[in-house]
Structure 1
Amino acid sequence: MAKWGQGDPRWIVEQRADATNVNNWHWTERDASSWSTDKLKELFMAVRVESEEGSCEVTEVSKVEGEASINNRKGKLIFFYEWNIKLDWTGTSKSGVKFKGHVEIPNLSDENDPSEVDIRVTLVKDQPDTKLMALMKKEGSERIRTAVADYISTLKTEFTQGMILPTANGVKELVQEPKVPCNSQKAVPKSTPRSSQPAGVKIPTCKISLKETFLTSPEELYRIFLTPELVQAFTHSAAVLEPDKGGKFQLLDGSVTGEFLELIPDRKIAMKWRFKSWPAGHQAEITLLFHDKGGETDLQLDGVGVPSSEEAMTKEGWRRHYFEAIRQTFGFGARLF
């Protein structure tokens, strides 16, 4: 597989006036510490669990010490975070008796999966024993791990915007949607054909097939392909898409355009798909099939109608600008076949 930046130039997004650091080839860094502190407090303060014994909730985030940053080197995003966190929780029994305790998370870092995070739940000294302690240790800890996972996911999606591909004056260029009458449906930009040649141009075509395994669920992987913010995160450029049958999409600053033909949640995405260098009006049909392998997802790509002269470039483009980019952005380890 070609290294980032060494692939076919037709896939490289152009029109970057700020040539001092084109495509962020040199090392760039963004401090995520302040944002992370606020996000962690917001997520932990929402933790609350209930049972027949009563309820427990986080009442204060008393300590958030550490740092977080995102680094970009040669188009690869590298995430670093390390936190020492202390929470205060209050349990209320069915009879109205209150109990207070602490939660310590001594090492929340990029080296550990959320399921491996050490969570220590204790009662304040001199507090009597209570069955609410077991509730907080089990269900409470699970909710805290969910909050940790939400933090990591948000850090790798929302906070990465703008890390790649600066434009003139350092401002990221966005695809502008055309204005439409207020009583009409939201319009999605369409690619402008380069000639009046009709669709379905007769040229030599071929089939392509790719397979890759991602260490995530079909639900999560499916969502990444259809959520504009997540698509922008792994393509490192503006993306416009309407995730419904018949909906149009435009990626990589217009280099890729198409239309969704069939969407079966968590199982299948079928679409018309074309690259801008193809003959005007010609589209291939690409199908993505998501197979649940219990903690892993096999993703099968089948394509028909790909111009024969573009076979190698199309395969390499999907590998680098979709599959490899998703791994780098969201941390889903994968094995290529």
Structure 2
Amino acid sequence: MAKFDESDPRWIVQAREDGTNVNQWHWSEKDCSEWSKQRLEQLLGDLTLLNGPATAKTTGLKSVEGDSILNIRKAKLIASYELAIKVRWQGTTAGGQHGSGLIELPYVADENHDEDPEVKVLLPTEDAASQQLKAEILAKGKEPIYAAIRTYVQELRSGVPGKPGNSSSSAAAAAAGSGSGAAAAAANGSAAAAAVPRPGSSGSGSAAAKKSSKRSVSMTEKFYARSQDIFECFTVQGRIQAFTQSAALVQPQPGGTFSWFNGNITGTFQELVPGQRLVMSWRFNSWEEGCLSKVEVELSEPEPGNTVLQLKHTGLPEADKFGHGDVQEQVEQGWRGQIFNRIRAVFGYGV
């Protein structure tokens, strides 16, 4: 036992001479401001907001103000950010008149990470065309913006800026979440061309992250579309790229592989019945290698042009490879925000 007022060296964590922060034990911070600007430019700079009869799209990021920091302690990630974002847009009314302006997101912050941000449409001039387009964007064009912000938030919170190769100069390699989100957002992780895993492949991550659990997500969604249209949103590469607004690869046959959101989501088709049923293995690249879940999609059309989709997503891990235990919540948010709502917004299959 150490004498009073003397330190026992057994309880002192000595700094390593080589400066290595073993297992991210010590508190460290990464300034993600530059990464955020480049990633938000990718996500928000070329979005389709209205797709007929009036059309509108974003035409580039005007400004990002504020701070974005990724804190790491004991291998746990804590994202701290508070941003004000402005994006340029232009469009054409159904009558052929042109308008333009700015979209402002005045407060995107970590304290509201699970909420969609406020969206304002600013007009440099009060001409009739711009006012008409402003009203339509606020009424029908906000969902692509929400989806982009969910992707950014989920990537930041899952540690994408801190991964090797994800410096500001390689932000193009990052992609959407949710798982938060997205998947979800939506969509976690960021490999630009991640290889599709094979069932039974093994990884070397934590047991908690790799362990399959009884956690699952069940959802019922309705669309104003034919069931075959919805089926093709999972099996036709062009449709997938349209609503994800990112690179996708798809081989729609039993044993065929797929990759969405630039490789954030990968898997294998197990069963396909056109217009009726899909069964797939499914994983996010924020999960440990070898960790696979199962997605079953049932489609029915009680009335022509009205499709009911029933989703059952089983075998979710207890945590992702970063130790986050909110996988079930992030997956559910990702399906709704990054996939189903995007399908409705892009193809007009319901609100």
Larger Rg: 1
TM-score by length of 1: 0.50
TM-score by length of 2: 0.48
